[in-house]
């Protein structure tokens, strides 16, 4: 299965982002803490160019905290200003605003020297579909301003929003890129919900998730599905898949395993944190 999703509205959104860049002081890029590299759009470097920029790892409450620390250290070593936030709790606004001030300080110092009155920082917030943009914005603004939903493509148009007197945000629709050079990236994006489920083969994605769990979080598998130790450590993902289907009663006539239903259970467990706090890639990968 080749995973790809680049509908027409994304191409339009890319053009609009390029046009609006001149109106903002900086760009706030959001990435999913569970897949920090795979959820970064490689086209952004070309689009943003030299505009001040910061990286925010969202959904940190769903990610492996040790892996998130590794990623923040990795990005720092790469010269990328990055923070992680949990959009469901009040712990993200202050560090985000402080980092935005740091990133735009040269711009505002120059304005001050010219005698221009200070104003709010104007920032474009951008990321892939279902990365948690609307949830982050609502947390920053302090009320439900942007639509949210556990599916990609909720935000369809740009809108300006105020964060107190210090920050103005330009919200933009989620944008993927036309072709995933590495299909593992596509699998990670599909597993975490960045691609419409209607386009996916759940069985292949569930097998990928189980293989990653066997390598990285075998104890979580055992805890969730109550399976034999050899099954969650030996790397045989198909046998593990079969046993989960049997354990959960996903059976068709004659005792045949319903692979579609089993795959849905695995992906739902991943996305609903039933498998614990999971990160599907690390800097070592």
pLDDT tens column, 49-63: 889 999 999 999 999
**Are 141 and 125 within 8 A, CB to CB?**
no
Torsion of CA 36, 42, 46, 48, to 10 degrees: -30
| Domain range 202-285, CATH class | mainly alpha
Identify the pLDDT of residue 111.
Answer: 92
User: In CATH terms, are 8-171 and 202-285 the same topology?
Assistant: no
pLDDT score, position 63: 96
Domain ranges across the chain = 8-171, 202-285
What digits encode the pLDDT tens for the residues 139-162? 888 766 555 445 444 445 677 888
Q: Kindly report the backbone phi and psi dihedral angles of residue 261, in degrees, each rounded to the nearest multiple of 5, phi listed first.
A: -65, -40
Reported as a single tens digit per residue, the pLDDT across 92-137 is: 678 888 999 999 999 999 999 999 998 999 999 999 888 988 888 8
CA angle 181, 186, 192 (to 5 degrees): 150
Largest CA distance in the chain: 81
For domain 8-171, give its CATH number from 3.40.50.300, 3.40.50.150, 3.40.50.620, 3.50.90.10.
Answer: 3.40.50.300
What is the pLDDT, as a whole number, of residue 48? 87
pLDDT at 1: 58
Where do the H-state alpha helices sit in the chain?
8-20, 44-48, 65-77, 93-113, 133-141, 183-192, 202-216, 218-225, 229-233, 237-247, 259-271
pLDDT at 40: 93
d(CA 64, CA 49): 31
What is the pLDDT, as a whole number, of residue 25?
Answer: 95
In angstroms, rounded to a whole number, what is the distance separating the alpha carbons of residues 58 and 236?
Answer: 32
CB 172 within 8 A of CB 13: yes
Share of the chain above pLDDT 90, in %: 55
Rounded Cα–Cα distance for residues 58 and 70 (Å): 15
**Is residue 15 over pLDDT 50?**
yes
Question: Tens digits of per-residue pLDDT, 63-101?
Answer: 999 999 999 999 999 999 999 988 666 656 788 889 999
The helix (H) or strand (E) run that includes residue 55 is: strand 53-58
């Amino acid at each position: 299965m080749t995973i790809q999703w680049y509908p027409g509205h994304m191409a339009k959104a890319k053009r609009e982002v390029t046009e609006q860049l001149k109106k903002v002081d900086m760009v706030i890029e959001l990435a999913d803490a569970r897949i920090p590299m795979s959820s970064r759009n490689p086209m952004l470097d070309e689009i943003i160019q030299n505009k001040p920029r910061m990286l925010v790892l969202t959904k940190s409450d769903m990610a492996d905290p040790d892996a998130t620390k590794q990623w923040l250290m990795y990005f720092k070593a790469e010269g990328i200003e990055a923070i992680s936030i949990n959009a469901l709790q009040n712990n993200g606004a202050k560090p985000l605003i402080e980092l935005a001030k740091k990133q735009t300080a040269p711009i505002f110092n120059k304005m001050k020297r010219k005698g221009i009155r200070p104003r709010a920082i104007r920032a474009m917030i951008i990321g892939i579909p279902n990365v948690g943009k609307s949830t982050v914005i609502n947390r920053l603004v302090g009320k439900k301003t942007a639509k949210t939903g556990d599916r990609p493509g909720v935000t369809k148009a740009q809108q300006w929003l105020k964060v107190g007197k210090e920050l103005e945000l330009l919200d933009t629709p989620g944008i993927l890129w036309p072709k995933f050079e590495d299909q593992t990236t596509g699998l990670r994006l599909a597993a975490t919900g960045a691609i419409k489920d209607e386009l996916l083969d759940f069985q292949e994605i569930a097998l990928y998730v189980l293989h990653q769990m066997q390598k990285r979080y075998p104890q979580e598998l055992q805890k969730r599905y109550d399976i034999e130790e050899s099954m969650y450590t030996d790397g045989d993902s198909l046998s593990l898949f079969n046993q989960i289907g049997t354990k959960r009663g996903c059976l068709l006539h004659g005792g045949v395993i319903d692979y579609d239903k089993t795959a849905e259970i695995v992906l739902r467990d991943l996305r609903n944190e039933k498998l614990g706090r999971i990160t599907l890639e690390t800097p070592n990968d």
